[in-house]
Amino acid sequence: MTLSLDILPCELVYRILDHLNIITIILSCRNVCTRLNAIINTYSRYQTIAELDLQQNDIDSNDSKYIAAALQNNDTLTTLNLYANNIGSQGLQYLANALHHNRALKILNLGQNNIDSEGVQYLAKALQINRTLTQLNLYSNQINSMGISYLAEALQHNQTLTTLNFTCNPFSGDRFKYMANALANNKTLTDLNLTWNELGVKGRLQYLASALEKNHTLINLDLGHNHINCQGMEYLANGLQNNQALRSLSLDCNDVGSEGAQYLANALQHNTTLTMLNLSHNPIHNEGAQYLAKALENNATLTSLCLMSTSIGFEGTRALYAGLRNNRTLTSLNLWEIPICSQGAQYLANLLQTNSITLTILSMGINGIGPKGAQYIAKALEKNNTLKTLQLSVNGICAEGTQYLANALIHNKALTMLGLASNRIDTEGVRYLANALLNNITLTTLDIAGNTIGLEGVRCLVNALLTLETLKFGNSNTPEEERQYMIDVSHYLTANVICD
């Protein structure tokens, strides 16, 4: 005789459910019959689930119907991740209907689900009613200009959504002005991601800039990969001058040149709230760095500046030194992939020796500073008492430069993280480091991955691992003998040894 799940005793059903994952329970056991639904509703694992990760599960529109049914009256689930499925607009209709009634869900990830503007229309109606959802991810769907209009209407009325990821959606035309108008009036949105949306074309940034002048709640704005040129930067800079809310602005991978950097620098002279600025992968060159440096002389709010891969040379670095030597607020500076060479390193070293400097994080990599540049930095470290993190990866420091840095570590009492990955450091260089670590009690993290230190170098490090909490060692090219030795001895060390 075959027994059906819906007629088994309640306790036996519980035991069966114990062996099923949550997605199976939702898609295969829910809505079989009223009795089984009642049993599942009282099942402890189902009652207490707060986060459900269903990404990349081949969930289609039909499956979404069952998820929506479970979601409609659920009062415990706060996070639902449906990233990279195939929900489509029909599936989103089911989920949107559930959001009309759900009072618990706060975070919903719908990225990469083949959702078009029809689906967004259903979602937008739900957002006007729903009072609990705070984070929504619509990354990389098929939402066009009409969908922008629907979403904008929802943002005009929604009073709870704080985070919206609208990255990589192929809208065209001028309907972005509706989104900008909604942003100007919205009172709850604090985080907005608009990367990969071609905002730099057809005057869209003019709409956004106007919205920024009126908005008082948006804190974090990501505009990376949007073909923003100097004209777009002029619009945006005008908006920033009058904005009193934005704290973080990311403009990575755009076309902001030296002229665009000038507009931005002028805005920084007036803006009093921005604390983080990311300009990585923008060709601002030395001239742009000079404009920014001048602004930094008087800016009293910016704490983090990323200039990675911005075509700045040692002349631009010299300008930054002049602008930052009296700055009292900047704590993090990223100069990766900037060909400053040893001359630029000398300016940065002079900066680190300035009594008023507040930098705690300095990221340098692929700068070509060589042993001579390392010598300048090392001399500065002997006196600096504020820098906590120093990244010097891929700089051709070699054993000579490592010796200078090792000597500095004996005197330095502030640095906690040092990155020396892929610097052509050999056994001799590691021996200098190991000896320094015996006398240094503040460094807790050391990254020497991608160097050829040999088995003897590994042994030297092991003997010195008294204060380190993390040692990043090795890569795919590390000889097996060295890797195995470090793995074997790591069981007896207090440091967390990472063998990539």
- Measure the CA–CA gap between 455 and 52, rounded to whole angstroms: 46
Per the structure, the complete domain to which residue 35 belongs is given by 1-48
The predicted pLDDT at position 23 comes to 82
> Within a domain: residue 389?
yes
Other C-beta atoms lying within 10 Å of the C-beta of residue 486: 22
The predicted pLDDT at position 303 comes to 98
Tell me if 270 sits within 8 A of 239, measured CB to CB. Answer: no
pLDDT tens for each residue of the chain, 500 residues long: 456 666 788 888 888 888 888 888 888 888 788 888 888 888 888 888 999 999 999 999 999 999 999 898 888 999 999 999 999 999 999 999 999 999 999 999 999 999 999 999 999 999 999 999 999 999 999 999 899 999 999 999 999 999 999 999 977 778 899 999 999 999 999 999 999 999 988 789 999 999 999 999 999 999 999 999 999 999 999 999 999 999 999 999 999 999 999 999 999 999 999 999 999 999 999 999 999 999 999 999 999 999 999 999 999 999 999 999 989 999 999 999 999 999 999 999 999 998 678 999 999 999 999 999 999 999 999 999 999 999 999 999 999 999 999 999 999 999 999 999 999 999 999 999 999 998 898 999 999 999 999 888 888 888 777 566 676 666 667 677 766 765 665 555 556 666 66
Tell me if 46 sits within 8 A of 15, measured CB to CB. Answer: no
> Within a domain: residue 437?
yes
> Within a domain: residue 492?
yes
> Within a domain: residue 190?
no
Collapsed DSSP state (helix, strand, coil) of residue 278: strand
Alpha carbon 31 to its chain centroid, in Å, reads 40
Question: Which are the contacts of 388, defined by CB distance < 8 A and separation ≥ 6?
Answer: 360, 361, 414, 415, 416, 417
- Measure the CA–CA gap between 31 and 44, rounded to whole angstroms: 18
Residue with tokens 């029809």: 118
The number of distinct structural domains making up the chain is: 2
- Measure the CA–CA gap between 88 and 86, rounded to whole angstroms: 6
The predicted pLDDT at position 9 comes to 86
> Within a domain: residue 327?
no
CA distances from 5 to 40, 47, 92, 476 (A): 12, 19, 30, 51
DSSP string of 125-141, one letter each residue: HHHHH-SS--EEE-TT-
- Measure the CA–CA gap between 490 and 361, rounded to whole angstroms: 28
Tell me if 213 sits within 8 A of 240, measured CB to CB. Answer: no
- Measure the CA–CA gap between 422 and 429, rounded to whole angstroms: 13
> Within a domain: residue 452?
yes
The predicted pLDDT at position 87 comes to 97
Tell me if 439 sits within 8 A of 468, measured CB to CB. Answer: no
* Residue 499: closest CA among 110, 491, 235: 491
Tell me if 340 sits within 8 A of 309, measured CB to CB. Answer: no
The predicted pLDDT at position 162 comes to 98
> Within a domain: residue 456?
yes
The predicted pLDDT at position 228 comes to 96
Domain containing residue 423: CATH number = 3.80.10.10
The predicted pLDDT at position 459 comes to 86
Other C-beta atoms lying within 10 Å of the C-beta of residue 319: 22
> Within a domain: residue 100?
no
Q: Is the dihedral of CA 166, 87, 134, 51 positive or negative?
A: negative
Tell me if 132 sits within 8 A of 159, measured CB to CB. Answer: no
Q: Is the pTM of this model over 0.85?
A: yes
